């Protein structure tokens, strides 16, 4: 997910408090097996 990239590479760009619904949706997506299968190692 692009928000994962932003959070990892540019942590000050995305304001999760301002966009809480979007952040929650992205977190839910990241919890899905299909997202975990394609995750890059840290």
At 42 the pLDDT is: 64
The secondary structure of 10-40 as a DSSP string is: -TTT--TTTTHHHHHHHHHHHTSHHHHHTPP
Q: Write out the residue range of the structural domain in which residue 14 sits.
A: 2-37
Whole-model pTM?
0.75
**1-32 pLDDT per residue, tens:** 789 889 989 999 999 999 999 999 999 999 99
Q: Does residue 42 sit within a domain? A: no
Domain count, the chain: 1
6 within a domain of the structure (yes/no): yes
């Amino acid at each position: 997910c692009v928000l994962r990239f932003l959070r990892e590479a540019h942590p000050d760009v995305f304001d999760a408090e301002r966009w809480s619904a979007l952040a929650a949706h992205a977190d839910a997506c990241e919890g899905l097996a299909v997202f975990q299968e394609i995750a890059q190692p840290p």
